[in-house]
Amino acid sequence: MGLKMLAEMTVPIKNQIVEAVAVDGYVRIKKAAEMLGVSSRTITRWIHKRYFDGVIKNDPGAETGSFYLIPEESVEKFHEKRKTSSV
């Protein structure tokens, strides 16, 4: 699967500036939480329960620390499903 890189940005992590990337069609935990009206912690729990398809976790040994990329389409599908049932 080819991932199209949108932009590079600098983010502070542990008093350092490191590079992070935005990937077209994917959102980070914070954005997914905003889209669904829940906390970031709830999104993390749902990731571990495998409620979203196609989640990517970066290398936990990376300088940026580990983070997840969630397909935006998966978040939207989950939102629709959640409207009709409770999770």
Which pLDDT belongs to residue 11? 44
Which pLDDT belongs to residue 84? 85
Its pTM stands at 0.68
Alpha carbon distances (Å) from 7 to 44, 65, 85:
24, 19, 36
**Domain architecture of the chain: domains with CATH:** 25-84 (1.10.10)
Q: Using an 8 Å Cβ cutoff, are 19 and 8 in contact?
A: yes
Which pLDDT belongs to residue 15? 42
Give the pLDDT mean for 6-33: 63
Which pLDDT belongs to residue 10? 43
Question: Per residue in 36-86, pLDDT tens?
Answer: 999 999 999 999 999 999 999 877 666 656 789 999 999 999 999 988 886
